[in-house]
Structure 1
Amino acid sequence: MSDLPLLGVALPTKELEHFRDFILSDDRDLELQDFFDADLLNGDWKAVADRAKGLLAGYAGRLGIHGPFWGLNIASPDTDLRAIMTRKFLQGLEVCEYLGATQMVIHSPYTTWDFNNLDNFTGRSAYDRVTENCHLTMAPVVRRAEDIGVTMVIENIEDKDPDIRRILADSFDSPAMAVSIDTGHAHYAHGSTGAPPVDFYVRRAGERLQHIHLQDADGHADRHWAVGEGSVNWYAVFRALGELTIKPRLILELRDKAGVLPSVAWLNRMGLAR
């Protein structure tokens, strides 16, 4: 069973002590969840980062953070708002550099409305305008990420089109931009908006996929349930993952952290991951 994919976890620093042995025993991938908070980024974030560093002494796994996202849309056409967002993402990268993190999760700009309306315009493509606005916001962030060796992964939120984030990431022509999938978000889009099933998102991301949030859901809402509690077809998801030549970070992102170890146990019993 040791050849099964190794699971990681998303945690706030306050939970690290409880899961320290679980993480360090196999150097599991870890995503710190504290640093999406705007107030923390504007305040004493180094105190939280130092606490995490102390708890992770001896850790040799792949470390990442969830970047800022509340109220942010990287495709905003407003110049003033873009400047604020650029600054927030640069703050996230400052945290990455301080921690030695090599990945930062950011959110997709695409909505369900976009899927139905981006072709509903004459003249210059609305797709192109969205991409241009993303570049205006993120170009200095991408350059900084390249300098410090961080990859930003674009996570699906409302995305109904499984290709659109990969196309956006590719447009930057940079190793600092790649693709993330949240299984619960994809399952919501499948169940509530008619999007393809989760395994299709994996296949469409292909070799650009560097990060996955694993959570179970019911296709109606963003549940973040323990794996096995919802209706995601995990066999199909891990079959699609097995077709890749790369090893994206497989991050359990659960609302109730008590579900982390049971999720690992469930996936292990099914012969899917460890």
Structure 2
Amino acid sequence: MDAQVGFSLPESVGLHVEEGVDVAARTDCDFFELVLDGSGHPNRLPEDLANRLADAGLDLVTHLPFAVDVAAPFESQHEGLLDTHRNCLDAAADLGASKAVLHPSSAAWRFAWSTEEVEDAVVDSVGTLHAYAADRGVELTVENLITSRFTAENFERLLDRVDADMTFDTGHARAVGFESAEVAAFVAANRDRISHVHLNDTLGESDDHLPVGAGIVDFPAVFDALGDDWTGTLCVEAVVGDVGYVEESVARVREMFEGN
């Protein structure tokens, strides 16, 4: 498998952007995944970030803001959400990012708006943002979530309607009830649409974001399902305060997939 390996350090673990780049540089990573929020907010990014990444030999993947939906039933709100993502995609392009991860979410009130109406709005927004990103040389990928309309259970409905490829999140799949065999089957069935993988472990049907190997996710089965010729990006997404666990996770991932 000729995949690239990197990691994402969300703001919640207490490391800012510059520190995350430094950790990635000393951890044999190919890329760093930057969350465009907190210290990674486009208005707060270090002016020398592109140079820091280049000096470290790191490519860049970005994650659009977690808390910003892609669709809303009120036009002014809806356009504001899209503008926020467009601004972040501009920042990603300026930094030379190869990919941007998007949560296909909407907080539309479920008692007032049907599932079909919300899904249609999300699909339309994903298409709009995918085209906008492509025009700027950035690949938009959409992620399976836990509480949105598009979880691993029904994500193929989204893939059937959009051109954007997928970020597959291992922990999110387990959190909605997928067993190991179901995770591997989903990956095998959709490997041609999976461009980016968030690797995080869990102890059960919960979004634990543990280091690789600390829970029950069968990572070798995921790599087997991707296949020897898969060439995407593998991102450790462990939400832990001690970056040593992240470094160990990166090493474990390399050992597992390079052994395939």
User: TM-score, structure 1 length as denominator?
Assistant: 0.76
- Indicate how the Cα distance of structure 1 residues 268 and 28 shifts in structure 2: closer, same or farther if over 3 A, else same: closer
**Relative to structure 1, is the Cα distance of residues 268 and 246 closer, same or farther in structure 2, using a 3 angstrom cutoff?**
closer
1:186 correspondence with 2:173: yes
Distance in 2 of aligned mates of 1:262 and 1:92: 31
Deviation at residue 225 of structure 1 after TM alignment: 1.0
Q: Distance in 2 between matches of 1:196 and 1:79?
A: 42
Q: Is contact 1:189-1:195 (8 Å) kept?
A: no
Post-superposition offset of 1:258: 2.3
Does residue 126 of structure 2 align to residue 141 of structure 1?
Answer: no
Alpha-carbon offset, residue 214 of structure 1? 0.4
Comparing 205-214 and 218-227, the one that deviates more: 218-227
Does residue 7 in structure 1 map to residue 5 in structure 2? yes
Q: CA deviation at 1:5?
A: 4.4
Tell me what 1:154 maps to. 142
Once residues 86 and 66 of structure 1 are traced to their aligned partners in structure 2, the CA distance between those partners, rounded to angstroms, is: 15
* Alignment partner, residue 252 of structure 1: 236
How many angstroms does 1:182 deviate by? 0.9
Distance 1:38 1:4, change over 3 A: closer
In structure 1, distance between residues paired with 2:246 and 2:224: 21
Say whether the 8 Å CA contact 2:174–2:204 is kept in structure 1.
yes
Structure with more relative contact order (C-alpha pairs < 8 Å, separation 6 or more):
2
Q: Equivalents in 1 of 2:90, 2:206: separation in Å?
A: 33
Cα distance change on mapping 1:54 and 1:60 into 2, 3 Å: closer
Which is richer in helix? 1
Q: Is the 8 A contact 2:209 2:237 kept in 1?
A: yes
The structural deviation recorded for 1:163 is 6.5
Q: Distance in 2 between matches of 1:219 and 1:62?
A: 33
Q: Distance in 2 between matches of 1:107 and 1:195?
A: 23
- The total of aligned residue pairs comes to 245
Distance 1:143 1:69, change over 3 A: same
Taking only aligned residues, the RMSD between alpha carbons, in angstroms, comes to 3.2
Q: Tell me the CA shift for residue 106 of structure 1.
A: 0.8
> Which of 209, 227, 232 matches 1:242?
227
Work out whether residues 2 and 231 of structure 2, in 8 Å CA contact, stay in contact via their aligned partners in 1. no
Give me the whole-angstrom Cα distance separating, in 1, the residues matched to 2:155 and 2:60. 23
Who is 1:211 aligned against? 196
Contact 2:2–2:230 at 8 Å: present in 1 too?
Answer: no
Asked if the contact 1:209/1:248 (under 8 Å) is kept, the reply is: yes
Once the two structures are TM-superposed, the CA of residue 59 in structure 1 deviates from its matched residue by: 5.2
Structure 1 spans left out of the alignment, 5+ residues: none
Determine if contact 1:106/1:154 at 8 Å carries over to the other structure: yes
Residue in 2 that maps onto 1:222: 207
Mapped to 2, the partners of 1:168 and 1:135 lie a distance apart of 7
C-alpha distance in 2 between matches for 1:249 and 1:221: 24
Matched-pair contact (CA < 8 Å) for 2:63–2:101: yes
Residue 53 of structure 1 corresponds to 50
Shift of 1:57: 2.4
**Aligned CA distance change for structure 1 residues 239 and 138 (closer, same or farther; 3 Å):** closer
